[in-house]
Amino acid sequence: MHIAVFYGSYRQDRNGISYARYLAQTFQDDGDRVDLIDAQEVGLPMLDRMYKEYPEGTAPEAMEKVASTIREADAFVFVAGEYNWGVQPGLKNLTDHFLEEWFWRPAAIASYSAGPFAGMRAMMHWRAILGEMGMVVTSTPLALGGVHKAFDETGSPVGDDGQRLERNFPKFADDLRWWAEAAKVQRAKQLPPY
């Protein structure tokens, strides 16, 4: 499968980037083609004009590149940190620049936080947001508490939180791949209804 992993923290000390890199690498090690899209690296401005609002061929290069990645992907992973019981503004801003590009593909949510709730409150918001944007959200979230201590300096999972992540990743990935394959078959068989 071709999986696009989206990460959105702009904070100076970004603990979640290790999580995003781990997910991208683990999917890749399992044989998937993976693109990791880091909102900070892409650097889109606060939403003024959506990708679809630019005349063809005039969107900023960074936006065009992300749109192409989204259109080519079979499935998406949103690495969703929790900010004050809500979603990260950087990831939400990146996501909102696009709409039809997301349609008819599954999304999985990998939430995280420094505390014991592991970003689950943000995950609940993301389920509604992604569903509204035309994605099927898988029922197997991957929640990581203690993100700041779950990886060593090489990016390998460590400690209880890291071990829990390694145990739970296969089910998370299998659920996403199942839906990605089902959607891919259906899109090949029949055009989406709109």
Q: Is 33 a member of any domain? A: yes
- Residue 169 domain-assigned? yes
Question: What's 42's domain CATH number?
Answer: 3.40.50.360
Please state, as a whole number, how many other Cβ atoms lie within 10 Å of the Cβ of residue 157. 20
Between vectors from CA 148 to CA 154 and to CA 31, what angle results, nearest 5°? 50
Residue range(s) defining the domain that contains residue 178:
2-189
- Is residue 83 one of the residues assigned to a domain? yes
Amino acid 83: pLDDT:
86
pLDDT of amino acid 84: 86
Number of domains forming the structure of the chain: 1
**What is this structure's pTM?**
0.96
In sequence order, the 6+-apart residues with CB closer than 8 A to the CB of 146 are 114, 115, 116, 159, 160, 161
Per-residue pLDDT at 115: 84
Decide if 10 is inside a domain: yes
DSSP string, the chain: -EEEEEE----SS-SHHHHHHHHHHHHHHTT-EEEEEEHHHH-PPSSSS-GGGSPTT-S-HHHHHHHHHHHH-SEEEEEEEEETTEE-HHHHHHHHT-SGGGTTEEEEEEEE-SSTTTTHHHHHHHHHHHHHTTEEEPS--EEES-GGGSB-TTS-B-HHHHHHHHHHHHHHHHHHHHHHHHHHHHHHHS----
Q: How far apart are CA 15 and CA 23, in angstroms?
A: 14
The pLDDT of residue 4: 98
**Is 194 among the domain residues?**
no
- Rounded to whole angstroms, how far apart are CA atoms 29 and 42? 24
Q: What is the pLDDT of residue 192?
A: 83
Closest CA to 51 of 89, 90, 93: 93
pLDDT in 10s for each residue of the chain, 194 residues? 999 999 999 998 899 999 999 999 999 999 999 999 999 999 999 999 999 999 999 999 999 999 999 999 999 999 999 888 889 999 999 999 999 999 999 999 999 998 888 889 999 999 999 999 999 999 999 999 999 999 999 999 999 999 999 999 999 999 999 999 999 999 999 988 87
